[in-house]
Structure 1
Amino acid sequence: MAARTIRPPAVSGLFYPASARSLQATLAAHFARATPASLPAAPKALIVPHAGYDYSGIVAASGYNQLTPFASRIRRVVLFGPAHRVPLLGLALPQASAFRTPLGDVPLDMHAWNEALKLPQVEVSDRAHELEHSLEVQLPFLQSILPSFTLVPFVVGWTDPAHVARVMEALWDGPETLILVSSDLSHYHPYDEARALDQATIERILQGDATITPDDACGAIAIDGLLLAARRRQLQPHVIAYCNSGDTFGDRDRVVGYTSIAFTEEVRHGAEAIH
């Protein structure tokens, strides 16, 4: 097996600022404008977007704000993001021992790495991780909120959502572990059409409908896997924020949708919806 390395940033200066000072200022601005913490319990799982920070940063920050009251207890993040650059069957871990951002290095949980590799749907592929942004863009947000944490990063390719759910449940553990799914919503529809499509997708997520497709959300397979696991664990979903790129940074002819949805471990009293 190849020697372990540090996975360097691939999209700093593109999706987010390359300097630590500029990145910290950008994050602080997004957190200040984001939805504040409001959940009745600690999030066990989050769905957050992964576009450039100018586009989806406030929606992502709204999701991450929900971790603030509970940040000291979260010590491990199990992260799932869709493959954008490399064709992939199953799920891929990197060979790296840490991921680097302008804010520092995030170490991988090597015990969890080894446990996940016991599952047949998980392989090691540095190529799948090399240029993938869906995982990387989440790390500066996490570094801003959590005092210290390790990472278990999965690029998710074409696979059965039940296989993703199996990985999640294998690494579920207690309140020290956060399950994180990186996904945008609809892509390149006109503004009003996109809002209608995204509202329908969000409603399906709130109802636990694990048949979301890549046309609905680019991280659909991981979302469906989370919904399968959430159903078994009786998690309750909470919509934290929604917008699309027509609201933030771009024209309204071809937009991309973004949402943050948190899942808490409590008895479900009814679905919530955006208005």
Structure 2
Amino acid sequence: MAQASQRLPAVAGLFYPADPHSLHAQISGYLAGAMPAEVVHSPKAIIVPHAGYIYSGAVAASAYAELVLRRDVIRRVLILCPTHRVAVRGMAVPAAQSFVTPLGAVAIDRAAWLAARELPGVLVDDRPHAEEHAIEVQLPFLQSTLDHFEILPIAVGQVDPKLVAQLLETLWGGPETLIVISSDLSHYHPYRQAQWRDKATIAMIAQLDPHLDGEQACGAGAINGLLIAAQRHHLAPHLLDLRNSGDTAGDRDRVVGYASLAFAEDRNHAQH
């Protein structure tokens, strides 16, 4: 029975090293090399890519590097991702009580899980999570940058972004709660076209425009929910890194776009 309560790694050795020492060394290297476009103080939410680390690990690191100063503050992480393998109507939280990576197990926040389960559009289902990489690849970064934290993994399927925003609103919390949206940008366009498309997507995010579609970002449903909540909470997005697989480890004929963004309270609004 103990085994059933754990969600075991599905993409260790594929998307990232299965050996804990190699994994730790790779993430440490990415974090050490992270040079974000700007330093964001106390981000409430981040958007990070979820490809194999050789493709998008360095881009993701520019957001995770922002968390190190708050490693003893953040205690709960809501992680939202699209569903790549199992279609979901609504949002699925797992029945599993922990997610395991080569760096150890991360517990599910029970109070957040119980609260989420009661919300409209939320179902409890392990199946969308079993083979899904988009949350799993974020966990070793969180394990490397935070001290003691629990998670609520949420697989976002076909759902009204307002319901995603309602879930975020319900679990918003204070400085102890971080929101992570796992999403890549455009898929399989030629390099220059992808750059143009992804810049247009970032411009929409900068305007907090919650009308992204799946062609712009695979995690559009989760991002749109965050953008609605960000409007209410006067959060401003900050672009930390924007690249694609043609910049990192792939050819330039068919690329996938990656961005890291951090959302923090708008200083201008805070002063009024």
TM-score range, shorter chain: over 0.9
Work out whether 1:146 is the aligned partner of 2:135. Answer: no
TM-score normalised by structure 1 residue count? 0.95
> Could you report, residue by residue, the CA deviation over 1:146-197 in whole angstroms, capped at 9, with x for unpaired residues?
0110000000101111110011111001000001100000000000000000
Given the superposition, is the C-alpha separation of residues 120 and 30 from structure 1 closer, same or farther in structure 2, using an over 3 Å criterion?
same
Shift of 1:250: 0.8
**2:245 alignment partner in structure 1:** 245
Shift of 1:40: 4.6
Work out whether 1:218 is the aligned partner of 2:218. Answer: yes
**2:82 alignment partner in structure 1:** 82
In 1, the alpha carbon distance for the partners of 2:18 and 2:235 equals 37
SS at match of 2:123: strand
Given the superposition, is the C-alpha separation of residues 156 and 250 from structure 1 closer, same or farther in structure 2, using an over 3 Å criterion?
same
Shift of 1:137: 0.3
TM-score normalised by structure 2 residue count? 0.96
Letter matched to residue 232 of structure 1: R
In 2, the alpha carbon distance for the partners of 1:225 and 1:99 equals 24
State the superposition RMSD in angstroms: 1.5
Letter matched to residue 248 of structure 2: T
Tell me the number of residue pairs that the alignment of Structure 1 and Structure 2 aligns: 268
Shift of 1:201: 0.2
In 2, the alpha carbon distance for the partners of 1:68 and 1:203 equals 27
Work out whether 1:65 is the aligned partner of 2:61. Answer: no
Q: Which runs of 4+ in 1 moved over 4 A?
A: none
In 1, the alpha carbon distance for the partners of 2:266 and 2:256 equals 31
Letter matched to residue 147 of structure 1: D
Does the 8 Å contact 1:242/1:259 carry over to 2? yes
**2:91 alignment partner in structure 1:** 91
Shift of 1:39: 2.9
Given the superposition, is the C-alpha separation of residues 215 and 37 from structure 1 closer, same or farther in structure 2, using an over 3 Å criterion?
closer
Does the 8 Å contact 2:37/2:240 carry over to 1? no
Stretch of structure 1 that moved more, 211-220 or 260-269: 260-269
Given the superposition, is the C-alpha separation of residues 40 and 30 from structure 1 closer, same or farther in structure 2, using an over 3 Å criterion?
closer
In 2, the alpha carbon distance for the partners of 1:145 and 1:214 equals 30
**1:54 alignment partner in structure 2:** 54
In 2, the alpha carbon distance for the partners of 1:268 and 1:56 equals 32
SS at match of 2:86: coil
In 2, the alpha carbon distance for the partners of 1:32 and 1:253 equals 30
SS at match of 1:224: helix
Structure 2 residues not aligned, in runs of 5+ = none
Letter matched to residue 155 of structure 2: V
Does the 8 Å contact 1:4/1:95 carry over to 2? no
Work out whether 1:161 is the aligned partner of 2:161. Answer: yes
Work out whether 1:121 is the aligned partner of 2:121. Answer: yes
Percent sequence identity over matched residues? 55
**1:183 alignment partner in structure 2:** 183
In 2, the alpha carbon distance for the partners of 1:106 and 1:39 equals 28
Structure 1 residues not aligned, in runs of 5+ = 270-275
In 2, the alpha carbon distance for the partners of 1:107 and 1:97 equals 6
